[in-house]
Amino acid sequence: MIALQQEALNSQPHSDPRWPPSVYYRFLAAIAGRLNAKVFVELGTCGGGASLTVASRNSGTKVVSIDLDKYPQVAGIEELCSNFFFYKGDSIAMAEKLGPDLALIDLLFVDTTHTYEQTMGEYKAWLPYMRKGGVICFDDLYRPGMNVVWDALPSPKTGIHDLKRMHVGGSPTDGGFGAVIV
Ligand SMILES: C[S@@+](CC[C@H](N)C(=O)[O-])C[C@H]1O[C@@H](n2cnc3c(N)ncnc32)[C@H](O)[C@@H]1O
């Protein structure tokens, strides 16, 4: 994970101004590359910068992204990346709708409300569809309650301190990034 963090920091962000150049997007893309990921699932698409970066840098990865709302930039990713698929719906409810028809998930990115209940619900709902040796990443670990989530997650895991450069926030309750190996 530390080597992949460095790879992300050394790589260039995408150049399209419709999406921010967040470094953790490149970190997710680097993990997908290292895993030779067939399936990446993102919970909480928003503008889709993470999905765009993973999909455009890993053409062999099926990128599935879920959100309650479809933001305007998402149509842009659908045009650019034929391996990107957006689904509108709740991140927990969609697990049993989509999970059985996907190949086992190599990389899952959990990035919705960052409450304890929702995040643990997402983790438990999607875990049965992960492949052994796959990776689950969590954003915004500095939000209230997310430290309890992080402590509850099983090892091996890397985060809080080791991956703090992946999401540097503007306040003490902003940012934080972690990765759990399944
Ligand atoms: C922090 S943003 C996601 C950012 C995005 N992953 C990125 O890296 O650019 C959180 C998103 O989660 C979505 N969201 C909130 N609750 C949700 C739920 N229950 N199911 C699906 N998406 C949800 C919001 O609509 C919002 O777009």
With respect to residue 182, please indicate whether it lies within any of the assigned structural domains.
no
Residue with CA at minimum distance from ligand 1 atom 11: 44
Percent of the chain with pLDDT over 90: 92
Among 110, 112, 114, 119, say which to mutate for ligand 1: greatest number of ligand atoms within 8 Å of CB. Answer: 112
With respect to residue 180, please indicate whether it lies within any of the assigned structural domains.
no
With respect to residue 179, please indicate whether it lies within any of the assigned structural domains.
no
Residue with CA at minimum distance from ligand 1 atom 27: 46
With respect to residue 25, please indicate whether it lies within any of the assigned structural domains.
yes
With respect to residue 13, please indicate whether it lies within any of the assigned structural domains.
yes
Q: How confident is the model at residue 118 (pLDDT cuts 50, 70, 90)?
A: very high
119 in contact with ligand 1, CB cutoff 6 A = no
Residue with CA at minimum distance from ligand 1 atom 22: 67
What pLDDT sits at residue 170? 86
Tell me what the mean pLDDT of segment 51-60 comes to. Answer: 98
Range of the domain at 140: 2-173
* Residue 169 belongs to domain with CATH number: 3.40.50.150
What pLDDT sits at residue 160? 81
With respect to residue 131, please indicate whether it lies within any of the assigned structural domains.
yes
41 in contact with ligand 1, CB cutoff 6 A = no
- CA 110 to ligand 1 centroid distance, Å: 9
- CA 66 to ligand 1 centroid distance, Å: 8
What is the position in ligand 1's atom list of the atom closest to the CA of 118? 19
Give the burial class of 155: count Cβ atoms within 10 A of its Cβ; 0-12 exposed, 13-18 middle, 19 or more buried: exposed
Residue with CA at minimum distance from ligand 1 atom 4: 46
CB 178 within 8 A of CB 163: yes
Structure tokens at 37: 């990921």
pLDDT digits (tens, 9 = 90+) for 94-116: 999 999 999 999 999 999 999 99
Is the omega angle on the peptide bond into residue 100 within 30 degrees of 0, that is, cis? no
Tell me what the mean pLDDT of segment 2-31 comes to. Answer: 94
- CA 107 to ligand 1 centroid distance, Å: 17
With respect to residue 181, please indicate whether it lies within any of the assigned structural domains.
no
Count of structural domains, the chain: 1
175 in contact with ligand 1, CB cutoff 6 A = no
Nearest to 54 by CA among 88, 14, 113: 14
Tell me what the mean pLDDT of segment 22-36 comes to. Answer: 97
Structure tokens at 52: 């765009």
pLDDT digits (tens, 9 = 90+) for 121-180: 999 999 999 999 999 999 999 999 999 999 999 999 998 888 989 999 888 888 999 999
* Amino acid (1-letter code) at residue 151: D
125 in contact with ligand 1, CB cutoff 6 A = no
Structure tokens at 80: 């650019």
With respect to residue 144, please indicate whether it lies within any of the assigned structural domains.
yes
